[in-house]
Amino acid sequence: MKHSLDSLNFLSPEKVVQIFDLQTGDHVADFGTGHGFFAIQLAKAVGAKGKVYAIDVQKSALDVVRSYAAKEHLANIEPLLADLEHPRGLPIKSDFIDFVLVSNVLFQAENKIGLIKEAYKILRSGGKIAVIEWDNSNTSLGPPPGMRIDKERLKDVCVKINFKFLREFPAGQQHYGMIFRK
């Protein structure tokens, strides 16, 4: 499946997921999954023994994820309705997840720190979080600059929560990507 914005040099979930070095059997949380473009690729990467929790605040988005997962014959995707900005708003136990993806979610969040803290809580020790957000260097597309979170602010927030910065990764012409470890 191709992301609907690939033709505009936006995110390519197939390419980006390869960067994450996921292992067969990993448990992954896709925060703000939307229509599941990343969830589908994450599910393929972790295989049938792995699990992807496709999390969104909109039931209609999760219905689309279910449809795509069925079409792709992926039984390892579990759509979850949750508000990621509220403490304990996520029905996943602490220290359980191997990898969290937060893609194009923080710019929308009022409680950015709370959302990152939820990721920290569910990640096992040594687990990783990848954050993909709109880059401030090109503002012709996407949200207004005032809604975006720049790289340095994101890094500061994550480090204050006790994440260790690992590296940046390419995430398309309009976005940046960063990986941190718990």
Map out the domains of the chain with their CATH numbers.
10-177 (3.40.50.150)
Per-residue pLDDT tens over the stretch 2-53: 334 343 346 689 989 999 999 999 999 999 999 999 999 999 999 999 999 9
The whole-model pTM stands at 0.92
pLDDT (tens digit, 9 = 90+) per residue, 89-130? Answer: 899 999 999 999 999 999 999 899 999 999 999 999 999 999
Q: Which of 2-6, 64-68, 74-78, 138-142 has the lowest mean pLDDT?
A: 2-6
Report helix, strand or coil for 127: strand
What is the residue type of 166? L
Q: Is 47 left (phi over 0), alpha (psi -120 to 50) or beta?
A: left
What torsion, rounded to 10 degrees, do the Cα atoms 68, 124, 175, 85 define? 80
Distance CA 118, CA 113 (A): 9
Confidence at residue 54, expressed as pLDDT on a 0 to 100 scale: 98
- What pLDDT shows up at residue 56? 96
- Give the residue from 172, 159, 165, 157 showing the smallest Cα distance to 130: 165
Nearest Cα to Cα of residue 107 among 87, 130, 131, 81: 131
pLDDT of 71: 97
- CB-based contacts of 65: which residues, under 8 Å, 6+ apart? 33, 35, 36, 39, 54, 56, 77, 79
DSSP-based helix, strand, coil % in the chain, nearest 5: 35, 25, 40
Burial class (CB in 10 A: 0-12, 13-18, 19+), 122: buried
Query: Two tokens at 24?
Result: 């067969």
Tell me the backbone φ, ψ of residue 81, rounded to 5 degrees: -85, 120
What pLDDT shows up at residue 4?
A: 40
